[in-house]
Amino acid sequence: MGDSSASYIHMVQHLIEKCLIFNMTKEECMEALSKHANIEPVITSTVWKELEKENKEFFEAYAQSKSKDDRMSEEETSRVIQRMISQQSESESSKNHDPDE
């Protein structure tokens, strides 16, 4: 994957994370990014699904919080997202490590 594709996907991921902070559903996020950032819903959906695969625990908790009236506070959501970002960074670091170096 080229650098421009990777940076585009990273940007979509970042925007999805912003949607999560605002307690948006996947559908709301797809609509918002389509309308405000001109990102095709299929792209948002694909990146969202990949995030779900890599962060099952977070998205299970997020889905539960969406189904209840007592949603996580913005502070709690931010903490969870920060943990998710840290885990993502660690995962990318280990994937990008070339043992031949």
Long-range Cβ contact pairs of 47-52 (< 8 A, separation 24 or more): 47/9, 47/12, 47/13, 47/16, 48/16, 51/13, 51/16, 51/84
Tell me which residue range forms the domain holding 51: 3-89
- Supply the pLDDT for residue 101: 46
In a domain, 98, yes or no: no
Q: Count the neighbouring beta carbons within 10 Å of the beta carbon of residue 92.
A: 11
Query: In this structure, what DSSP letter does residue 18 have?
Result: H
Better-scored residue on pLDDT, 1 or 56: 56
In a domain, 100, yes or no: no
* Residue 10 pLDDT exceeds 50: yes
Q: Total structural domains in the chain?
A: 1
In a domain, 11, yes or no: yes
In a domain, 97, yes or no: no
Instruction: Judge whether 51 and 59 are in contact, CB under 8 Å.
Output: yes
CA diameter of the chain:
52
**pTM for the whole structure:** 0.64
For 23-65, how does the pLDDT look when each residue is reduced to its tens digit (9 = 90+)? 889 999 999 999 999 999 999 999 999 999 999 999 999 888 8
Amino acid at the residue 8: Y
